[in-house]
Amino acid sequence: MTIENISCNKSFGGWHKQYRHQSQSLNCEMRFAIYLPPEAVNKPVPVLYWLSGLTCTDENFMQKAGAQRMAAELGMAIVAPDTSPRGDDVPDAADKAYDLGLGAGFYLNATKAPWNRHYKMYDYIVHELPALIEAHFPVTTQRAISGHSMGGHGALVIGLSNPHRYSSISAFSPISNPSNAPWGIKAFSEYLGENREHWRQYDACELLKLAIAEVPVMIDQGEADSFLDTQLMPQSLVDIANAKGYPLDVRMQAGYDHSYYFIASFIEEHLKFHSLYFKP
């Protein structure tokens, strides 16, 4: 598992670094970013995995969210992977649509050709990337997961499916019920086929219905988000959580939209939330 450093910048006493490596899960070269707080010089630190949304790369969150100051204060590493496989041989949407193909991996394991050779983002995020991070950087096996929009969907699905691997889950504006949202229906039909039973494992609402282990979850959703009612539908999650008594905290934020201005406004609260569940 070799990695190549491609950038390095000091930030709040710690270091933001970018790397590339050959991914076995995705059959292509991948890039990720990591922020290491000052504390990582002396001892391993817990790590938050951040999953970004449609069209994003590893750069959007690290450059726009303003998370480094609080991560440095809390002694927390942050890892931001890309949102899909990349490369000349990797399939893309025929019409170059933003919501399918490159930049739109939906954090699942595709089973339908031509996507199934490369689009194994679930395996990459759950298994390959953490193994790489833990082998090369001073981090512990304490992990949290968070994300935005498509990445919020990914964080919920991956966290709920692997409660033994993550101490907490958070999300901004997640696609909460993709089986009933246009973005999700389009992606799932292409990546997984038309059998909706195969979609259930990647739908946070379906997973929450079955959840036994209770991993703490916090969600922030802007009330002025133009995608709120058509694509995101957080109330579906709220209704299921209330029926089960699951520890889900959905915070509706007046006036906020779907942008990184929204994320930057509340990211420090999310980092503090995750820090509560990391063991000393």
Tokens 């939906």 sit on residue = 106
Is the CB of residue 189 less than 8 Å from the CB of residue 198? no
For 169, the token pair is 């889950």
Enter the tokens of residue 154: 């990914």
Active-site residue identified among 16, 225, 236, 274: 225
Single out the catalytic residue among 258, 270, 274, 275. Answer: 258
Q: What is the distance between the alpha carbons of residues 35 and 69, in angstroms, rounded to a whole number?
A: 10
Q: Which of 23, 25, 149, 170 is catalytic?
A: 149
Residues 6+ apart with CB under 8 A from 122: 107, 108, 109, 157, 158, 202
CB atoms within 10 A of CB 262: 21
Taking Cα atoms as reference points, which of 130, 122, 236, 123 lies closest to residue 174? Answer: 236
Residue 148 is among the residues annotated as catalytic for this protein: no
DSSP result, 220-231? EEETT-TTIIII
Active site residue 16: no
Quick check: 31 and 6 in contact, CB under 8 A?
yes
Give rounded-to-5 percent helix, strand, coil for the chain: 40, 25, 35
> In this structure, which long-range contacts are made by residues 85-88, counting pairs with CB atoms below 8 Å and at least 24 apart in sequence?
85/23, 85/26, 85/27, 85/28, 85/30, 85/118, 85/119, 85/121, 86/28, 86/29, 86/30, 86/31, 87/28, 87/29, 87/118
Active site residue 92: no
Give the N- to C-terminal CA distance of the chain in Å, as an integer: 29
State the catalytic residues. Answer: 149, 225, 258
